[in-house]
């Protein structure tokens, strides 16, 4: 697997690198001991680094196909390691970890979006699997009352997450998020009631949600 030191520009000072590595060791120890916040932070670091490397994939000229495949597999392995750390917290029922895991799976789905697939390709169906995992983990967090997860879950019913489009479910979760003080959910509902998008058009309700949005922003 690609080394963590490659995450840094070569011009970064040795002192900075030592400080980073010390922080990473402490984070790793805390994560190993089962601290959910540390598991989330460590997982996001792994995922973010290797996700960045995967986004650079298309700009690199490889000597041969074998090195190209190895690079891509390293990126996938690194992202999966990040997912595994966040999953530890998510499986314990931590709503924040569940929401973040859903977000990471959503981001990972784009890794497979631009791959030219052939019949029997090993990556066939991976994007769809990531989207489904994103939906399921976000839903777990939403059911625990996480307002950001409730807001994000509403968008997974727009027909692009490998599940049927369902406007009623979109509105249901927007309302749940709005009831939990989520300003953007209130703004979205205000627009829907103003336009009659998935709900019965109502100027009164539109104005009510606009006022709620301003209240929660302050």
* Structure confidence at residue 115 (pLDDT): 73
DSSP string across the chain: ---GGGGS-TTS-HHHHHHHHHHHHHHHHHHHTT-HHHHHHHHHHHHHHHHHHHHTGGG---SSHHHHHHHHHHHHHHHHHHHHHHHHHHHTT-HHHHHHHHHHHHHHHGGGTT----TT-TTTTHHHHHHHHHHHHHHHHHHTT-HHHHHHHHHTTSS-SSS---HHHHHHHHHHHHHTT-HHHHHHHHHHHHHTSSS---HHHHHHHHHHHHHHH-
| pTM listed for this prediction | 0.86
Give the range among 41-45, 49-53, 117-121 with minimum mean pLDDT.
117-121
113-134 pLDDT, tens digit per residue, is 877 666 667 788 899 999 999 9
Give the range among 106-110, 151-155, 161-165, 206-210 with minimum mean pLDDT.
161-165
80-101 pLDDT, tens digit per residue, is 999 999 999 999 999 999 999 9
* Structure confidence at residue 130 (pLDDT): 95
């Amino acid at each position: 697997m690609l080394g963590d030191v490659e995450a840094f520009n070569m011009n970064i000072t040795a002192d900075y690198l030592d400080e980073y590595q010390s922080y990473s060791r402490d984070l790793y120890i805390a994560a190993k001991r089962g601290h959910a916040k540390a598991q989330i932070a460590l997982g996001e670091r792994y995922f973010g680094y290797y996700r960045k490397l995967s986004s650079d994939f298309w700009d690199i000229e490889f000597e041969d196909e074998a090195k190209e495949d190895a690079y891509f597999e390293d990126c996938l392995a690194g992202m999966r390691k990040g997912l595994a750390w966040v999953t530890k917290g998510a499986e314990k029922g931590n709503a924040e970890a569940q929401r973040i895991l859903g977000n990471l799976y959503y981001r990972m789905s784009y890794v497979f979006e631009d791959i030219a697939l052939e019949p029997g390709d090993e990556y066939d169906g991976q994007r769809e699997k990531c989207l489904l995992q994103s939906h399921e983990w976000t839903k777990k967090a939403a059911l625990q009352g996480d307002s950001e997860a409730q807001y994000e879950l509403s968008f997974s019913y727009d027909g692009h997450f490998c599940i049927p489009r369902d406007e009623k479910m979109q509105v249901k979760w927007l309302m749940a998020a709005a009831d939990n003080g989520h300003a953007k959910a209130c703004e979205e509902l205000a627009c829907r009631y103003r336009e009659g998008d998935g709900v019965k058009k109502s100027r009164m309700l539109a104005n009510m949600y606009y006022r709620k949005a301003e209240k929660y922003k302050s």
